[in-house]
Amino acid sequence: MNNPLHSEFKTPFKSAPFSKILPKHFLEAIPKNINDSLKLINLISEQDQNPTFENTIVKLQNSNSLLARNTSLLFNLNSAETTSELQNITQKIASELSNYKNDILQNERLFERIKYIFFDSDKSKLSQEELTLLEKEYKSFCRNGALLSFDEKQKLRELDETLVLKSLDFGKKILEDTNTYFLHIQELKNLKGLPNSSLNYAKQLALRKKLSGWVFTLDAPSYIPFITYSEIRSLRKRIFDAYSMRGFNNNNNNTVEIIKNIVSLRKERSKLLGYKSHADFILEERMSLSEKNTINFINNLYEKSFPFAKKEWEKLVFFAKKNYGINHLEKWDIAYVTEKYKKSLLKIDELELKKYFSLDKVLTGLFKIINKLYGLSFVLNNDIDRYAESVVVYEIYDEKNNFKSLLYVDLYPRKGKREGAWMTSYLGQKENQRPHISVVCNFPSPDKSKKSLINFQELKTLFHEFGHALHGILSNTKYENLSGTNVLWDFVELPSQIMENWCYEEEALNIFARHYKTNNQIPKSLIRKIKKIAQFQQGIQTIKQLGYASLDLSFHTKNIDKIKNIKEHEDQVLRKFQFIKPSKNHCLSCSFSHIFQGGYSAGYYSYKWAEVLDADAFEVFLENGIFNRKTAKKFEKTILSKGGTEHPMKLYKDFRGKEPDSMSLFRRAGLI
């Protein structure tokens, strides 16, 4: 009776009472939620009335509200504030959820009702959103085994359960490899080149470990400054090796066999469902539609960008040799030399630039930018329960003072929090329910002066994740299954990536870019240099991303059985995308969480596809003014509020008036 997960939360906005939720509560509540949901679904499937949208599809949407909330809480906490106990519980629950999903999707009587509504019922009175939901439900059943025989369904159930556990195990091993390693430095001479902010952060990490000197870890706020600024090449190599060998070490966290299992199981699953490959299965429900189209997209961008990348690389190699005596540029040199080259070429100092990006001012400025675009206001609420001390919670309201969302902002690294940045939700949006959105990043923790200075890439990351957040906050759909980021996967990055554009615009920078000490506005000369950053080494950056996309696809084609050695396969795929001979000790695939733990399998290309969409869409803002309310409101009405209620190409054309033009990406990148 003391388990808060057993009922609706009696809290402000029905927010999660994190301080009262114990790991064991999930073990008690979620199996009960599953059982209760299945009882409701059996009532839906066994009813005597003829199948209708209302008595079947609508009731199906309302059959698992507590389960959806509680599983969202569990999986989000397992990413942002995990423990070994929570990881073990998540694995157990994940297995039960896999069976639950299959119990629904393989319910023959329920599927017969949905099939009848889809093919034989009168749908003339259904709205576009309802038609989309009906099609999504029908396809979901078909794509999850509804048309299979009994034995085949049982096989699919086993495959799904195993895949879930393998994916969780992959993530657990990468987190352990990341958390275990640290570089301990005690001599001042080995700190040469590192900025004060990095040294202060390293000193804090050392104190936490009760060590003298400085400690550097593989978490982004520690690793990235070290690999970028350290002048000690041997130490750059040491920490780069550790980062690049995660999952590839000769220890219990090696992921090679897990990867082989995952890709093999994915192919087996797809073949069981009638597809040639996992890529064919996934891409059927993407804007690209097929593996062939995706490969053509990657090849088209590669052909256009490679000549630029090659010239950029040759200039970087020449610069490294001439100025730093590096005759053979290695991967652990790239970030360091690139930073020096950028400073020399563009006359821009990233460390100087950071002084204008104090995280508190940036966040306040970002709120002002969002207000200017969409009329949203952010109200700090210190009374809402949080899952970690450093998390901050805001109430969000529109111009008419209507409540839109709760927003959890979680910006700093800590033990138990996975690396990277992401947006998620603790409560989805649907009719009469506003969402609870979370933005999670890993920026440098505030120093003694309570300031956290972020670099330009981190600035873009923050805007990126808030773009995702806006997709959830401004969602206005009737059904949760179609709300917010519940869109085709290669459309989901448009709202996030378009927000990055404001990081380069003078009118936006003047709102938040102020010196952390003097509060002086960022000088125009620095803004001009920032604009040049947008085109700096875009050839290299483009082929790097295309390499990742090709590697992803290569693990999910019909020929994956030919992959005998993960490392050799990776080297072969990436050969044309890289200018440095691969090291035998490094294996990107072994820590490629996006495709083996996240949801990007056969879909990593979507980052570049979304860049095409965002470059094309942002041209409308450039034509009309980056804070033009009419343009922003149209983007909100046609994209952000619509979720997945219509096909994304239809939504995009409603905003842009035409299909996206890939040349807009090359125009922005200067690759013409």
Closest to 231 measured CA to CA, from 160, 152, 332: 332
DSSP result, 252-318: TT--HHHHHHHHHHHHHHHHHTT-SSHHHHHHTTSTT-SHHHHHHHHHHHHHHHHHHHHHHHHHHHH
| Ramachandran class of 187: left when φ > 0, alpha when ψ lies in -120 to 50, beta otherwise | beta
Dihedral sign, CA of 211, 216, 222, 228? positive
Closest to 382 measured CA to CA, from 395, 393, 391, 390: 393
Query: What six digits make up the tokens of 441?
Result: 């990043």
The single residue of 291, 465, 480, 636 carrying the catalytic annotation is: 465
- Which residues have a Cβ under 8 Å from the Cβ of 379 and sit 6 or more positions away? 394, 395, 396, 397
What is residue 644's three-state secondary structure?
coil
The amino acid that residue 487 corresponds to is V
| Ramachandran class of 450: left when φ > 0, alpha when ψ lies in -120 to 50, beta otherwise | left
Give the number of residues written for the chain: 672
Alpha carbons 90 and 418: distance in angstroms, whole number: 15
| Catalytic residue check, 465 | yes
Longest dimension (CA), the chain: 82
Cα–Cα separations (whole angstroms), residue 359 to 200, 356, 451, 454? 16, 9, 7, 6
- Strands 436-440 and 422-427 come out as antiparallel
Q: How buried is 212 (Cβ within 10 angstroms: 0-12 exposed, 13-18 middle, 19+ buried)?
A: exposed
Alpha carbons 617 and 657: distance in angstroms, whole number: 10
Query: What six digits make up the tokens of 502?
Result: 């404001």
Closest to 643 measured CA to CA, from 482, 500, 502, 435: 482
Name the DSSP class of 433: B
Q: Which helix (H) or strand (E) holds 409?
A: strand 403-410
The set of catalytic residues is 465
